[in-house]
């Protein structure tokens, strides 16, 4: 007799199959604790260790105060600008190469992938997942994961004329959607459509950047920093922690 998965577990497995990722097999917290040293990947956005401020000071205090943890720091910064590191990392922290947005550097390289027949292009998938009020988050995650697995596809697909045409058609469909909980969508001209297309390109490039193995993903802002973390979580099942600046609570503890 063949048993089929049911309930929440079955839904969990089915979702992983749709995304093309393997479900995580997490160990019990009591397993292999002897000699275990957790490794946290902290992803920052325009702050630590290149900027002085509340978020950076808080990150520095947390990393230095939790010296029983190894930290990998992945900053996301504006490209094409000179940077000065204002914080010296403690011995338990390692600074990774920053992700530079809007830079002239080459995109990450990898093995070109094979898109399924009739599957939307990367720009269209990202647009449909991000712009509508009720976007398909599973399809969005699948597109971001594809960017990580096949980074060479990002630039190629965004430069393709067919991708631009399908993107424009999808954008028009989304703008014509009628949602009772929202105001009418603003009109988009060619310049604004091109700017949005460029923004989606940088989202795809950010998703394509590889991330190292870790025990926990720590995202310090609900923006660009979440993109590589979401891909890593989808691929490896690593838990993700998001801390936002909020109402300056962190400064009160410093």
Domains (ranges, CATH) in the chain? 37-108+211-254 (3.40.50.2000), 109-208 (no CATH)
CB environment 39-69: b (16+ within 10 A), e (fewer): bbbbbbbbbbbbbeeebbbbbbebbbeeeeb
Give the per-residue pLDDT at 139. 92
Give the per-residue pLDDT at 30. 46
Question: Can you list the positions of beta strands (E) in 5-145?
Answer: 39-45, 70-78, 93-95, 99-101
Give the per-residue pLDDT at 4. 42
Give the per-residue pLDDT at 106. 60
Give the per-residue pLDDT at 143. 96
The string of pLDDT tens digits covering residues 83-97 is 899 999 999 999 999
What distance in Å separates the CA atoms of residue 48 and residue 55, rounded to the nearest whole number?
7
Give the per-residue pLDDT at 176. 87
Give the per-residue pLDDT at 107. 55
Give the per-residue pLDDT at 21. 61
Which residues of the chain register pLDDT less than 50? 1-5, 25, 27-31, 117
- pTM of the shown model: 0.80
Asked if residues 47 and 220 have their Cβ atoms less than 8 Å apart, the reply is: yes
Q: What is the DSSP letter of 248?
A: T
Q: What is the dihedral of CA 177, 178, 181, 183, to 10 degrees?
A: 90
Least Cα distance to 167 among 134, 202, 131 occurs for: 131
**Beta-carbon count within 10 A of 38 CB:** 12
């Amino acid at each position: 007799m063949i048993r089929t998965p049911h309930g929440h577990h079955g839904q969990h497995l089915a979702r992983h199959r749709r995304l093309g990722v393997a479900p995580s097999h997490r160990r019990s917290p009591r397993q292999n604790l002897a000699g275990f040293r957790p490794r946290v990947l902290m992803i920052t956005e325009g702050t630590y260790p290149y900027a002085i401020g509340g978020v950076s000071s808080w990150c520095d205090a947390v990393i230095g105060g939790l010296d029983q943890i190894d930290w990998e720091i992945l900053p996301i910064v504006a490209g094409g600008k000179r940077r000065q590191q204002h914080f010296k990392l403690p011995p338990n922290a390692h600074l990774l190469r920053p992700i530079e947005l809007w830079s002239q550097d080459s995109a990450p390289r990898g093995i070109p992938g094979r898109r399924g027949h009739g599957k939307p292009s990367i720009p269209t998938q990202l647009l449909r997942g991000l712009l509508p009020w009720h976007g398909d988050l599973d399809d969005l995650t699948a597109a971001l994961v594809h960017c990580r697995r096949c980074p060479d596809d990002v630039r190629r697909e965004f430069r393709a004329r067919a991708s631009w045409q399908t993107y424009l058609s999808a954008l028009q469909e989304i703008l014509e959607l009628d949602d009772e909980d929202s105001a009418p969508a603003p009109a988009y001209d060619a310049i604004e459509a091109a700017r949005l297309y460029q923004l989606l390109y940088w989202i795809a490039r950010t998703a394509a950047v590889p991330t190292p193995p870790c025990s926990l993903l720590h995202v310090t802002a609900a923006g660009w920093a979440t993109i590589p973390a979401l891909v890593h979580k989808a691929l490896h099942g690593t838990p993700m922690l998001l801390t936002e600046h909020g109402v300056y609570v962190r400064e009160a503890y410093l």
